[in-house]
Amino acid sequence: MHSIANQDVARNTYFASFHSVMQHDIEIIGEVLHIFILFSDSRTKGWPLVDSPVPTVVYTIIYLIIVWTGPKLMKHRRPFKLTWALIPYNLAMAILNLYISAQLLTSSIRLRYSYICEPCRQSRDPDELQIANAVWWYYVSKLLEFCDTFFFILRKKDQQLTFLHVYHHSTMFSLWWIGIKWVPSGSTFLPAMVNSGIHVLMYSYYGLSALGPSVARYLWWKKYLTILQMVRKSMKLK
């Protein structure tokens, strides 16, 4: 009887301790979530994909699953040409990036933004909101850029699926969610503006090259695009 009573006491003590620890952990999680909400930028509250990190994480996981399984599924299949999809996709991406870079450039000039260091102000000034809106579109463009990888897989361009390519695409979407959540303006504008400007040229080149050898002679400027991309990487502008 004493043994059973001791077991009951031990069990009750264990559950009491477990409940205390869980309650403490829940309180900590609550405090973290409070800080998470408190310090996020109120201007982007309620914007699509912004309030919770879950959609961004889920899309990134789906991307990585496709990267892992896609080449295996295509192993014994013939590659797709996809010219019908590549041309409009690259054209749309070039137009989107042109819009983003133009919005960021015009607003930053009107606001007299510093190109060295500019603090993020939660201002509702129309130009500040225009910058936040453009940064949000830049974040969305990182999701759309997953298609770059999917096209490589479907066309069996496996040599293009390097670690750096997958790492870049899988991390940029998440990093720019952090940007739009907490710092959608200020110095955040500069890498978005520079990269979107380069992406206008990049996607224009990809779209034209998808037309085939007949336009190859008009793509003499590819080497300058490569130089721009190297300069961007050396400046750590993502």
Task: Based on the fold, state whether residues 106 and 205 are members of the same structural domain.
Answer: yes
Better-predicted residue by pLDDT, 54 or 19: 54
Is residue 125 within 8 A of residue 111, CB to CB? The reply is: yes
Which domain covers residue 17, as residue numbers? Answer: 1-39
CA-closest candidate to residue 81, choices 216, 199, 211: 211
Given a cut of 60, whether residue 4 has pLDDT beyond it is: no
Question: What tens digit of pLDDT does each residue of 121-163 get?
Answer: 889 999 999 999 999 999 999 999 999 999 999 999 999 999 9
* Residue 168 among the catalytic residues: yes
Task: Based on the fold, state whether residues 66 and 142 are members of the same structural domain.
Answer: yes
Among the listed residues 2, 19, 76, 168, the single catalytic one is 168
Q: Residue 194: CB partners within 8 Å, gap ≥ 6?
A: 232, 235, 237
Is residue 144 within 8 A of residue 229, CB to CB? The reply is: no
Task: Based on the fold, state whether residues 159 and 111 are members of the same structural domain.
Answer: yes
Cα distances from 27 to residues 13, 15, 18, 36, in angstroms, run 21, 18, 14, 14
Task: Based on the fold, state whether residues 99 and 142 are members of the same structural domain.
Answer: yes
Residue 210 sits at φ, ψ, to 5 deg, of -70, -15
Total structural domains in the chain?
2
Task: Based on the fold, state whether residues 51 and 126 are members of the same structural domain.
Answer: yes
Task: Based on the fold, state whether residues 65 and 13 are members of the same structural domain.
Answer: no
Task: Based on the fold, state whether residues 53 and 29 are members of the same structural domain.
Answer: no
Report DSSP state, residue 212. -
Task: Based on the fold, state whether residues 52 and 9 are members of the same structural domain.
Answer: no
How far is it, in rounded angstroms, from Cα 46 to Cα 228? 36
Task: Based on the fold, state whether residues 35 and 103 are members of the same structural domain.
Answer: no
pTM of the prediction? Answer: 0.83
Task: Based on the fold, state whether residues 20 and 86 are members of the same structural domain.
Answer: no
Task: Based on the fold, state whether residues 20 and 80 are members of the same structural domain.
Answer: no
Question: What tens digit of pLDDT does each residue of 161-193 get?
Answer: 999 999 999 999 999 999 999 999 999 999 999
Residue 161 sits at φ, ψ, to 5 deg, of -85, 60
Q: What is the pLDDT of residue 226?
A: 79
Task: State what percent of residues in the chain have pLDDT above 70.
Answer: 82
Task: Based on the fold, state whether residues 21 and 59 are members of the same structural domain.
Answer: no
